[in-house]
Every structure is written in C-alpha cells, then in structure tokens.
C-alpha cells in the first residue's frame, strides 16, 4: 500500500484516510500494524466494489445508520465495511483467506 505523509489529508484531528487504495497519513503520526490491516481490508473492499461503488455504498449506509442511531460516530462504526475491517484488523492472515464481498455478512441489523 502506498503511504503519503502530509499536513493536508486527512483533516486535523484524524490520523489517516484511505483514498482509492492510497493511505494518506498526517505528518508526525505513526501507522500501527493493525491500522495497515484495517486499511488493506478497505482496499480489498474498494477493489471488489470498483472503488466508486464502495464510496457510494459507504455514504448511503452511513446516512441510513445516522438516521437509525442519531450519532455520527455510531453510524460510522456500524457501516458494514467498517464492521468487517474492525472485526479482523488484528488478524494478519485475514486477507489471504477472506472471501470476496465478505462485508455483506455485516449488513445485518445492529443492536
Ligand atoms: Zn475503516
């Protein structure tokens, strides 16, 4: 994964963001191993969703979650892409055994 350290992307207050498989990291911030696994899972999701549909689906699901739960950070954690990435970010071998579209299994209603 390409990592670009800079002072612009992401906004201040955030550590990193994965845009189209490129990881942008705030200068002076480290990248933990589990963060790399997490972002690599997102890159796999993006590829299978042809990138554009990943962002469209992500936005729609976040909005639905926001209406459902009322808080932006809860909406974020309940996006199915995030559920899969957080669930497996400490499993270094996950991507080698991951099935395509595995995030679909996290679409089920949350508590
Ligand atoms: Zn994530």
pLDDT for 108: 76
What pLDDT shows up at residue 110? 65
Read off the pLDDT band of 76 (50, 70, 90).
very high
36 vs 29: CA distance, rounded Å? 13
Q: For 78-99, how does the pLDDT look when each residue is reduced to its tens digit (9 = 90+)?
A: 999 999 999 999 999 999 999 9
Distance 89 CA to ligand 1 centre (A): 9
- Beta-carbon neighbours within 5 Å of ion ligand 1: 82, 85
For residue 90, the CA-to-ligand 1 centroid distance in Å is: 13
Question: Is 106 a residue whose pLDDT tops 90?
Answer: yes
Q: What is the pLDDT of residues 22-49, one digit of tens each?
A: 999 999 999 999 999 999 999 999 999 9
Distance 82 CA to ligand 1 centre (A): 5
- pLDDT over 80 at 109, yes or no: no
Q: Helix and strand tally (H, E) in the chain? A: 5, 3
User: Phi and psi dihedrals of 5, rounded to 5?
Assistant: -90, 130
């Amino acid at each position: 994964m390409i990592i670009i350290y800079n002072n612009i992307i992401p906004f201040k207050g955030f550590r990193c963001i994965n845009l189209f498989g490129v990881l942008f990291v705030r200068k002076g911030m480290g990248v933990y191993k589990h963060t790399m696994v997490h972002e690599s899972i997102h890159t796999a999701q993006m590829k299978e969703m042809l990138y554009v549909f990943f962002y469209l689906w992500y936005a729609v699901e976040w909005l639905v979650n926001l209406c459902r739960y009322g808080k932006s950070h809860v909406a974020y954690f309940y996006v199915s892409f995030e559920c899969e990435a957080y669930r497996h970010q400490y499993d270094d071998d996950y991507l080698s055994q991951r099935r395509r579209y595995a995030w679909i299994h996290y679409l089920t209603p949350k508590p």
